[in-house]
Amino acid sequence: MIKLLRVDHRLLHGQVVVSWFKNVGANTILVANDIVASDELRKSAIRLAKPEDAKLVMKSIDDSIDAINSGITDKYQMLIVVESVADAEKLIRNTQDKIVSLNLGGTKPREGTKNYSKTINLTDLEADLLTGLQQDGVDVYIQQVPNELKQKFEK
């Protein structure tokens, strides 16, 4: 069961591990990222951040979609972390309605982005993708840590 899908450009770090992992009752973390899936150095760094009691899996976006759709992940209480809005949108659109909400935790400022909160910076295309998800019934919200007030994403 997917407990949380989070967009965070830092992927796995103390805040995700300490706050969200325990808060949502997860036992598995899936880092869904094409670059990490093929980069042993980044995998090693991410392994250092994982909680001792967590199962950690690192897969490409397509392999993550295949695993979720196959049912093999159903036995886990999963926290999924992706680096970008585009990756989150692709996961949601291709996993047979298994993901019904999206937590926006952090997207760094880049050229062409607009600031939506202290940690969320989006291009117009990313904002449009999120609006499209909302129109299709996905709960899209900004919340950096669990004890922070949940803010509905608004373009």
40: CB partners within 8 A, 6+ apart: none
Residues classed as catalytic: 13
Name all contacts of 62-70 with Cβ < 8 Å and 24+ positions apart: 63/37, 64/30, 64/32, 64/91, 65/90, 65/91, 65/94, 65/95, 67/30, 68/2, 68/95, 68/98, 69/94, 69/95, 69/96, 69/98
The pTM of the full predicted model, rounded to 2 decimals, is 0.95
pLDDT digits (tens, 9 = 90+) for 76-133: 999 999 999 999 999 999 998 999 999 999 999 999 999 999 999 999 999 999 999 9
Domains assigned to the chain: 2-152 (3.40.35.10)
Tokens for 116, please give them: 């939506």
pLDDT digits (tens, 9 = 90+) for 32-72: 999 999 999 999 999 998 888 899 999 999 999 999 999 99
- pLDDT at position 15 over 80: no
